[in-house]
Amino acid sequence: MAKRKDWKGEKLYRLTFRSFSHKSKTGRSYWLCLCDCGGNTIVDASNVRRGHIKSCGCLSREIRITHGMTGTPTYNGWSSMIQRCTNPDNPAYYRYGGRGIAVCSKWMRFEGFLDDMGERPENDLSLDRIDVDGDYCKKNCRWATAEEQARNIRARNHVTGVNGVQWYKPTNKYLARIRANKREICLGYFKDFFEAVCARKSAENQLWV
């Protein structure tokens, strides 16, 4: 069995590791940390290492006070983008961070993202990359409908190549599906490729945002 890393005395972000707390049933190591604000917190060491946890919670409170947009559609869209590209446990990671899609340094902070993209104009719009193989940055992103995103994909994939959409020979139709909450969901069978992609993109916007 691999030896547990000793984090004692190390500091990452606002947290200084003080002592080992416990190990979860899945093998994750939890440590007692002292935050720069003076608060104590028990955290998953791997989440601190990956940057998913940076404080005892005081940083999130400061951010909420700074821009007051936590929980809004714009903030949720930004948060989902970060998770897709940086969190290996996110169900969409394999399509984004897992294949090299990154977020530009400015957009790692919500304020930077908001400065470039502004608030989400309408509820039926979501963040779309113009070049689906490019990174998340100002020159490659826009607010777009599911239909616009589907057309963007279709222009590059006339027959196949879209994750979650495949030609299903027994029905002579396109099958659209998505994985969420650890289960596979069938979105339907479609004669038209564009309609199948729209169904997939709409499901992504509902289930992964």
Q: Which two tokens stand for residue 66?
A: 């700074």
* Contact between residue 204 and residue 198 where contact means Cβ atoms under 8 Å apart: no
Token reading at 156: 């590059």
Interatomic CA distance for residues 179 and 204, integer angstroms:
9
| Token pair belonging to 108 | 């790692």
Tens of pLDDT along the chain (209 residues) come to 456 788 899 998 889 999 999 988 888 899 999 999 888 999 999 888 887 788 888 877 766 666 678 888 888 889 989 998 998 888 888 888 988 999 998 899 888 898 889 888 877 788 889 888 899 999 999 998 877 877 766 544 445 567 788 888 788 888 888 888 778 899 999 888 888 888 888 888 777 65
Q: Are 15 and 53 in contact (CB under 8 A)?
A: yes
**pTM of the model as a whole:** 0.50
Token reading at 13: 């972000």
Domains of the chain (ranges plus CATH)?
11-65 (no CATH), 69-144 (no CATH), 145-209 (3.30.730)
End-to-end CA distance of the chain: 37
